Amino acid sequence: MVELFGLSFQGEIDKAHLPPIPMSLFAYVRFSPDDTDSHTVAFSITRPSGEMKTIPVFDNKVIEPGNVPQADRAISVIGQIGVDPKEFGRHEVTVYLDNKAVAATYFILMEQPPPSAVLEQSIVA
């Protein structure tokens, strides 16, 4: 699950100097009770150009076996990261379990006109 927040700007947008856009990230990984192996969980973000970057805060988190027999093991990851708005378009956030992609979600980063421009267009139409 990803929640993306917006930023408002006046005038021309210089993508080279935009601040990171805050994004909330939540992932839940559950293992069966008979699984006693250690696992790694990692996240990445892929830009529209194909450039992939690992999200370092969660990189290679080791999930050790618990000490309660027959209890499910799980990890919940809740955090906020900053998406560097270098490129507009479709971005992908991927969850990796033991270096294998197990889930992905997408969001589109796009430039929106300021509210006054939208209002002006609706009045003219």
Contacts of 47-53 spanning 24+ positions with Cβ under 8 A: 47/86, 47/87, 47/89, 47/91, 48/87, 48/88, 48/89, 48/90, 48/91, 49/87
Whether residue 46 is predicted with pLDDT greater than 90 in this model: the reply is: yes
For all residues of the chain together, what is the average pLDDT?
75
Q: If you average pLDDT over residues 40-46, what whole number do you get?
A: 85
Q: Which domains does the chain carry?
A: 2-124 (2.60.40.10)
pLDDT the model gives residue 92: 93
pTM for this predicted structure: 0.69
pLDDT tens readout for residues 9-36: 566 666 667 788 888 888 888 887 777 7
Higher model confidence: residue 81 or residue 5? 81
The model's confidence at residue 2, banded by pLDDT at 50, 70 and 90, is: very low
End-to-end Cα distance, the chain: 37
